[in-house]
Amino acid sequence: MSTHRDTDHTFGDQVVVITGASGGVGRATAWEFAKQGARVVLLARGTAGLEGARKEVEQYGGKALAIPVDVADPVAVEAAAEQAEREMGPIDVWVNNAMNSVFAPFKEITPQEFKRVTEVTYLGQVYGTMSALKRMLPRNRGSIILVGSALAYRGIPLQSAYCGAKHGIQGFYDSLRCELLHDKSRVRMSMVQLPALNTTQFGWVLSKLPNKPRPMGKVYQPEVAARAIVFAATRNRRSVWVGFPTFKAIIGNKIAPWYADYVLSRNGYKGQQTDVPASPHRKNNVWEPVPGDQDTYGGFGDIATRHSTTLWLSMHREWVWLIAGVLIAVLIIGLTMD
């Protein structure tokens, strides 16, 4: 972790709530908001990870409040929102990021495991949005970010529960965004669709695979996702796609889903496993957090990139279109003069 502070203070003194903030994307997102002087409320189950994230937020120049909470419990989420406003002030941004998953063929997943993934990954975002809107709608301001995935559009083998939850989030978001537009609400919403990331989930996700799980395809560091989330919180864009693999998965599935079925049926099993056998004593966080501070990064830093050209172009698309328009105009003028 770097202690460099950003000079942008868009979120200075604003209150930002982040679920799943004890590690991975949530923790990296807390850093980005903290650089801008935000008051960051960290929600997660693991107290050790929350404490580590709290210290880092303060090192980056933000203020932090850590609240242990299971996002699958709507009563606990609402209580956390009340505490956040009581101790930090009115909530300006709510980031729904918490997730868990099961890596296994569907036939090997129990009903209880599938339900748990759905409750955390899908309903956790619903409950968070409910608590955020309860406070933002009367004030007619605020920003809610749903953290999605390319897998919200294109399911892959061995992650049926997670893919189903992300598809559910996408449908929920479509519906709610229409309602906010109908009501002419000034509360902003956006969904950030992520690629494979080098996060800690591959170390603690429940896996029934013979080898250790790994992110599939091109891998990005969690800071890339964090930058996209912070950017989305400043805009009212319908969605932000992160990384070329996300574009390829979403657009490719719209054009030829049958081809994606074929490719993933051949490559999806091997592509999500390393060559290292899994330990029979491996711990997972489906029901309880893994003990200790799991930090932010997974074990794939050697293949992960810290930059995304497609994200940069998306974040600066107004300038991209302006430059493209100027170049086209110059070309047209040149042709007419010949």
Average confidence (pLDDT) over 69-86: 98
Single pTM value for the model: 0.92
pLDDT tens digits, one per residue of 111-128: 999 999 999 999 999 999
The pLDDT value given to residue 320: 64
The reported pLDDT for the residue numbered 316 is 80
In whole angstroms, what is the distance from residue 223 CA to residue 36 CA? 15
220 is annotated as an active-site residue: no
pLDDT at 229 over 70: yes
Give mean pLDDT, residues 318-337: 68
* pLDDT for the residue numbered 144: 98
How much is the mean pLDDT over the chain?
93
d(CA 284, CA 213): 12
Joined together, the tokens standing for residue 243 give 């990384």
pLDDT band of residue 326 (cuts 50, 70, 90) is low
Q: How confident is the model at residue 7 (pLDDT cuts 50, 70, 90)?
A: very low
Query: pLDDT band at 227, cuts 50/70/90?
Result: very high
Lowest mean pLDDT among 13-17, 33-37, 221-225, 281-285: 281-285
Half-sphere CA count of 266, side-chain side, radius 13 A: 5
Tokens of residue 252, six digits: 């490719």
Taking only the tens place, the pLDDT of each residue in 53-66 is 999 999 999 999 99
Rounded to an integer, the average pLDDT of 243-260 is 96
pLDDT tens-place string over residues 164-174: 999 999 999 99
- Residue ranges of domains in the chain, CATH in brackets: 15-307 (3.40.50.720)
Q: Which string of DSSP letters, residue by residue, matches 77-119?
A: HHHHHHHHHHHH-SEEEEEE-----EES-GGG--HHHHHHHII
Quick check: 5 pLDDT over 60?
no
Catalytic residue (choose from 122, 127, 162, 297): 162
pLDDT in tens, 97-107: 999 999 999 99
Tokens of 133: 């809107």
Per-position DSSP letters for 260-281, written without gaps between them: HHHHHHHHTTGGGEEEEEPPTT
